[in-house]
Each structure stands twice: as structure tokens, then as C-alpha cells.
């Protein structure tokens, strides 16, 4: 019961649900998730760490980039919950807007999204805006 409660607690937060939906059936780099959510990288990383620790998502490192996806093992062992969440949220205005935004983000080169401190942060129209200190 404790594991189920932990999963429910983790998924009972809007940003983590948005991440869950975005990662379903695809793998995304941290920078792509940051661009999608419009949150600080540190905030996004905390959400991802909680989801990873609970086993909801998997992580794969490739060079300097970390990629995340919904864990297939988690989906199998939590099939009813997984199907319920997907069914409840598939028509959500927020999830549909995220899917549209994600299409824009996926067109951007990962190298552009994942730059050091003077990063390029994508604007909502899909163009990059270089921010300087």
C-alpha cells in the first residue's frame, strides 16, 4: 500500500502529470521538458527526480544529456492506474496544449535547448531568445 500511496502523491501535482503525459510513448531530454513546461531547470529536475525515485520514469544518459521516458515496467505493474490517468487526461485542454507545444519543442535542435548558463530559452512562438547575464 505504501508504494501505491507514494505514486499517487507524486502524480497528484500538475507539473508531474504534464511530464507523465509528455513522456508517454516517447523519450525526451531534460531540456525539452524544461522548454515544454516553462519552469526553471532546477524545478523540473526535482520533479523528474521524484518521478524517477518512485519508478514511474526511467532515465538514460547520453553524453551530457539525460533522457527520460515512462517506465514500461511501471506501466505493466500499474496498468489500471496508468490507463485511468491516460483516459482522464487525454482530452484535457492543458495536455492538448502541451502536445501542441511539444511539437514546436521537438523541432528545435537539442544542442540549442541544452546550452550552458547563457542558455537559449525558447519563446512560445518557437523562436529562440538568447539571454545574457
Residue-level pLDDT, tens digit, the chain, 133 residues: 777 888 889 999 999 999 999 999 899 999 999 999 999 989 999 999 999 999 999 999 988 788 999 999 999 999 999 999 999 998 999 999 999 999 999 998 877 777 653 443 433 333 433 333 3
* Eight-class DSSP state of 71: -
Side-chain-side CA neighbours of residue 124 (13 Å):
4
Considering the domain boundaries, does residue 36 fall inside one? yes
Please give the residue range of the domain that contains residue 64. Answer: 2-102
Q: How many domains does the chain have?
A: 1
Helix (H) or strand (E) holding 50: helix 41-54
CATH number at residue 70: 1.10.10.10
Domain assignment present for 111: no
| Distance from C-alpha of 50 to C-alpha of 48, rounded to nearest angstrom | 5
Any domain includes 9: yes
Name the region of 76 (left: φ>0; alpha: ψ -120 to 50; beta: rest).
alpha
Largest CA distance in the chain: 49
Cα–Cα separations (whole angstroms), residue 5 to 35, 58, 101, 123? 30, 20, 31, 37
Residue 32 falls inside a structural domain: yes
E-state strands within the chain:
28-29, 57-62, 65-70, 120-122, 128-130
Query: Is there a domain that residue 118 lies in?
Result: no
Helix (H) or strand (E) holding 120: strand 120-122
pLDDT digits (tens, 9 = 90+) for 57-66: 999 998 878 8
Domain annotation covers residue 13: yes
108 lies in a domain?
A: no
What does the block give as the cell for 6? Answer: 507514494
Amino acid at each position: 500500500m505504501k508504494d501505491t500511496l507514494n505514486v499517487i502523491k507524486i502524480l497528484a501535482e500538475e507539473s508531474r502529470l504534464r511530464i507523465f503525459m509528455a513522456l508517454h510513448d516517447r523519450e525526451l531530454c531534460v531540456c525539452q521538458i524544461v522548454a515544454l513546461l516553462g519552469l526553471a531547470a532546477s524545478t523540473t529536475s526535482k520533479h523528474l527526480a521524484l518521478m524517477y525515485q518512485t519508478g514511474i520514469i526511467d532515465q538514460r544518459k547520453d553524453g551530457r544529456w539525460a533522457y527520460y521516458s515512462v517506465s514500461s515496467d511501471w506501466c505493466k505493474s500499474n496498468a489500471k492506474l496508468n490507463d485511468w490517468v491516460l483516459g482522464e487526461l487525454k482530452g484535457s485542454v492543458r495536455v492538448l496544449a502541451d502536445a501542441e507545444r511539444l511539437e514546436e519543442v521537438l523541432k528545435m535542435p537539442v544542442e540549442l535547448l541544452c546550452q550552458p548558463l547563457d542558455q537559449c530559452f525558447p519563446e512560445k512562438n518557437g523562436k529562440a531568445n538568447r539571454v545574457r547575464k
